[in-house]
Amino acid sequence: MEVKTNKRRGDPGKPPGLHRTAGCTVELISSHNRVFDYLRDIQNRPQWERMSSGSLVQELANITMGPDPRNCISVLAMSNHKEILILQECCTDATGSYVIFAPITPNDFQSMLYGVDQDLPLMPFGFSILPNVSGSILDGTLLTMVFQITVKNVSSKQAVEVVTQIVKEALQKIIEAVN
C-alpha cells in the first residue's frame, strides 16, 4: 500500500485542501475481462464499494465510446445518497482495462452538462486492470486500485488509516468475488 499527501490550492479541476491518495496492486487468478466486467457492473458495486453498500445503484445515462458497448461513460445514482451522483468511465481492449469513478453533486453535474462550469473539482478513483503475462503465458490479472479523500477535521494519521482501510476492504471483497 502506498499513501501520498497532496495540498491543493486552486489547481484546475481539483478541489482545494489536503488530500490523501492510497494505491495498491494485487495479483488475481481471474482473467482481466472477468475482473473488468465485475467492476463495471453496477449491480456488483454495493458488494465492494463502501459508499454504495446497502444501496440500489441505477444507471441514469450511458454514452458508448466506440464499437464495444463496455467502453462507455455512465452516470450512476444511489438510493441511499441522493446528494451524490457517480460518473463512471469504463474502457477495455486486449492490452488492459480501466474503470474510473468520480462523485459529483447533481448541481455540479447540471453545470457540466450545460457547459456552465468547465472547471468542476472532481476526486476520481478507480482501477487499472492488466493481463498478467509471464513470457507467452497469460497468468491472471494485475489489479491496481487508487482512492482519494479530502482530509477535513481529522488528524493525518486518521486520514491515512481511513483511506488505507477503504482500499483494503474493497480489494478483499473484489478478490473474494472474482477469484
φ, ψ of residue 34 to 5 degrees: the values are -65, -45
pLDDT at 135: 64
What confidence category does residue 12 fall into, taking pLDDT thresholds of 50, 70 and 90? Answer: low
Q: Contact at 8 Å (CB) between 4 and 20?
A: yes
pLDDT at 117: 66
- Here the cell at position 31 is 482473467
pLDDT at 132: 87
Over the stretch 73-88, which tens digit does the pLDDT of each residue have?
A: 999 999 988 899 999 9
Nearest Cα neighbor of 112 from 73, 151, 148, 150 is 73
Over the stretch 104-156, which tens digit does the pLDDT of each residue have?
A: 999 888 888 887 766 677 788 999 999 987 766 677 899 999 988 777 777 77
Give me the percent of the chain exceeding a pLDDT of 70.
Answer: 92
pTM of the model: 0.87
The 3-state secondary structure of the chain, one letter per residue: CEEEEEEECCCCCCCCEEEEEEEEEEEECCCHHHHHHHHHCCCCHHHHCCCCCCCCEEEEEEEECCCCCCCEEEEEEECCEEEEEEEEEEEEECCEEEEEEEEECHHHHHHHHCCCCCCCCCCCEEEEEEEEEECCEEEEEEEEEEEEEEECCCCHHHHHHHHHHHHHHHHHHHHHHHC
- Here the cell at position 93 is 481492449
Q: Which whole-number Å values give the CA distances from 51 to 11, 46, 82, 110, in the listed order?
A: 26, 8, 12, 22
Residue 15 has pLDDT above 90, yes or no: no
